[in-house]
């Protein structure tokens, strides 16, 4: 009986692992279907009809919705409407403690703002921020980014779907490294087109390092915030929003300070919380009865 139960658990785990790679195939397929032709056109490798080019080069391009669509489709196929309700419940789970709200909302403004301040003190020329030139845009941009700038389109997939399944086979740190590499790879076609974001105007290795480090922190928050996708959506929004507020990554020194700070923070998180789950167990949980 025990052996049969173990076999069933192993089969369930294997099915989850297969489904996560299918998720990536669908997410990449959808997004790259719209991003790659645009990038090839911008590089003068192909020539798109004007109407198609205008559509792909507009805010109506649906490429970024690939992770969300893939996650919802596979969740429905694997778990039906009950699975959809469960993932939506995690996407709207707002009760996870004040500390994790503070981490999700303030970590990146502090790190990026601090890196910019230090770089400026060391003599780096800091480009002006468009956000502080129009202060009214600061709160509005946070809401716009949350719904249309990546968090809603991506977090149900990267964290809500992929993280859940990869952690059934790998520890939290290894799962994060895998997701970070794949997340960065998913962004690669965007380097073929002119974009305003700082990270697409820097060497491509930067997004790999950044996404891997950020993913570890997202997993840390996700696992500690009661598996709340909403928590990582807030943190994702905060990162993109902070790059609107601060021009840190447009400077060499600011970028190096940011990466150095991120590496130190990630190492501390892994050492303190442990690579297995990135969740620190209470001392009493391990005490002898």
| Segment 140-179, tens digit of pLDDT | 999 999 999 999 999 999 999 999 999 999 999 999 999 9
**Mean pLDDT throughout 1-16?**
47
| Segment 168-224, tens digit of pLDDT | 999 999 999 999 999 999 999 999 999 888 888 888 999 999 999 999 999 999 999
Look up the domain containing 156 and give its range.
Answer: 2-286
Total number of domains constituting the chain: 1
| Segment 24-58, tens digit of pLDDT | 999 999 999 999 999 999 999 999 999 999 999 99
| Segment 110-123, tens digit of pLDDT | 999 999 999 999 99
Residue-by-residue DSSP string for the chain: -HHHHHHHHHHHHHHHHHHHHHHHHHHHHHHHHHHHHHHHHHTTSS---HHHHHHHTSTT--GGGHHHHHHHHHHHHHHHHHHHHHHHHHHT---S-HHHHHHHHHHHHHHHHHHHHHHHHTTPPPPPPHHHHSTTHHHHHHHHHHHHSSHHHHHIIIIIIIIHHHTTTS-HHHHHHHHHHHHHHHHGGGGGS--SSGGGSS-THHHHHHHHHHHHHHHHHHHHTTT-HHHHHHHHHHHHHHHHH--GGGSHHHHHHHHHHHHHHHHHHHHHH-TTTS-PPPGGGGS--
**284: pLDDT strictly greater than 70:** no
């Amino acid at each position: 009986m025990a052996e049969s139960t173990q076999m069933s658990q192993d089969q369930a785990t294997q099915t989850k692992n297969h489904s996560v790679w299918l998720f990536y195939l669908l997410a990449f397929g959808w997004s790259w279907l719209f991003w790659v032709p645009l990038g090839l056109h911008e590089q003068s490798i192909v020539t798109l009809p004007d109407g198609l080019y205008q559509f792909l080069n507009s805010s109506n391009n649906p490429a970024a919705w690939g992770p969300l669509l893939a996650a919802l489709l596979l969740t429905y196929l694997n778990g039906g409407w009950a699975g959809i309700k469960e993932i939506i419940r995690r996407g709207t789970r707002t009760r996870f403690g004040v500390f994790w709200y503070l981490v999700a909302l303030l970590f990146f403004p502090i790190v990026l703002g601090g890196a910019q301040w230090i770089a400026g003190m060391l003599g780096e020329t800091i480009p002006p921020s468009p956000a502080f030139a129009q202060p009214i845009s600061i709160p509005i941009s946070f809401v716009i980014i949350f719904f249309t700038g990546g968090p809603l389109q991506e977090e149900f997939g990267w964290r809500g779907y992929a993280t859940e399944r990869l952690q059934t086979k790998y520890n939290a740190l290894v799962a994060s490294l895998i997701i970070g590499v794949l997340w960065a790879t998913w962004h690669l076609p965007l380097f073929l087109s002119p974009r305003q974001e700082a990270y697409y105007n820097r060497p491509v290795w930067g997004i790999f390092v950044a996404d891997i480090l950020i993913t570890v922190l997202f997993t840390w928050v996700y696992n500690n915030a009661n598996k709340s996708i909403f928590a990582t959506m807030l943190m994702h929004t905060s990162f993109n929003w902070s790059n609107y507020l601060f021009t840190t990554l447009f400077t060499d020194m600011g970028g190096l300070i940011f990466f150095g700070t991120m590496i130190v923070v990630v190492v501390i998180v892994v050492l303190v919380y442990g690579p297995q789950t990135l969740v620190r167990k209470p001392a009493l949980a391990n005490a002898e009865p």
